[in-house]
Chains A and B, each alone.
Chain A
Amino acid sequence: MNIKKITFPTKIFLFLLFSLVSSISIAEGTYQEPVDFVKESFSPSTPPKSSVLWITNKLKPSIYKIMRHKLNALRIRYWKKDGQTVWVLNEIGKEHPITVGLVIKNKKIQRIKVLIFRESRGAEVRHPFFINQFKQVTITPDNKLEKHIDSISGATLSVTALKKLARLALYFDKVINE
Chain B
Amino acid sequence: MKTSKQVLPIVLACIMALPSAYAATETSVKELHQLLKEQQKQLKNLESQIDATASQVESSAKSSSKDSKTTVGGYGELHYNNLNGKGGASDTDKIDFHRFVLFFGHEFSKTVRFWSELEVEHSIAGEGQTGEIELEQAYIEVDINKEHKSRIGMFLIPVGIINETHEPTTFYGVERNPVEKNIVPATWWVGGVSVLGELAPGWSYDIAIHEGLNTTLADSYKPRSGRQKTGNASAKDLAYTGRIKWTGVAGLEVAATYHHQNDITQSTDSTAGAANLIELHSIYSQGPFTIKALYAQWELDGTGPKSIGADEQNGWYIEPSFRINEKFGVFARYNKYDNKAGDSNASEKQQTEVGVNWWIDPGVVIKADIQRQDNDGGSNQNGINLGMGYMF
Contact = CB atoms under 8 A, between A and B. Distances in A.
Contacts of A16: 195, 207
A135 interface: no
A97 B66 contact: yes
Contact of A27 (B145, B193, B202): B145
Contacts of A160: 362
B149 to A, nearest CB: 7
B144 A68 contact: no
Interface stretch (A34-42, A71-79, A104-112, A166-174): A71-79
Contacts of A24: 142, 144-145
Contacts of A92: 66
* For the complex of A and B, 9 pairs with smallest distance between CB atoms: A27-B143, A150-B251, A153-B253, A150-B250, A74-B54, A127-B201, A1-B235, A153-B283, A13-B209
Nearest to A130: B250
Contact of B201 (A29, A128, A149, A150): A128
Interface string A52-91: 0000000000000000100011110000000000000000
A178 interface: no
19 contacts: A1-B236, A7-B238, A16-B207, A23-B144, A23-B145, A25-B145, A27-B110, A74-B54, A95-B107, A96-B107, A120-B115, A120-B149, A124-B201, A129-B250, A148-B287, A149-B250, A150-B285, A153-B247, A155-B247
B198 interface: yes
A129 B201 contact: yes
Contacts of A141: none
Contacts of A155: 247
A29 B253 contact: no
Contacts of B145: 23-25, 27
A83 to B, nearest CB: 26
Interface of A: 1, 7, 9-10, 13-14, 16-17, 20-21, 23-29, 68, 72-75, 92, 94-97, 118, 120, 123-124, 127-130, 133, 148-156, 160
Given A20-B150, A21-B150, A28 B110 contact: yes
A96 B142 CA distance: 16
Contacts, number: 115
Given A28-B110, A150-B285, A10 B195 contact: no
Given A72-B66, A120-B113, A124-B202, A17 B248 contact: no
Contact of A127 (B58, B165, B202, B252): B202
A53 to B, nearest CB: 12
Interface in B350-376: 362
B2 interface: no
Nearest to B208: A13
Contacts of B71: 95
B97 interface: no
B238 A10 contact: yes
Interface string B194-221: 0100100110100101000000000000
Given A17-B150, A74-B57, A120 B247 contact: no
Nearest to A27: B143
A20 B143 CA distance: 10
A124 B245 CA distance: 12
A10 B261 CA distance: 11
Contacts of A75: 54
B13 to A, nearest CB: 55
Nearest to A25: B145
A74 B198 contact: no
A155 B204 CA distance: 12
B62 to A, nearest CB: 6
A20 B73 CA distance: 31
B123 interface: no
Greatest chain A CB density within 10 A among B144, B195, B201 is at B144
A1 B142 CA distance: 25
B249 A129 contact: yes
A127 B105 CA distance: 27
A176 B377 CA distance: 70
Interface in B245-278: 245, 247-253, 260, 262
Given A26-B111, A27-B145, A154 B247 contact: yes
B18 to A, nearest CB: 47
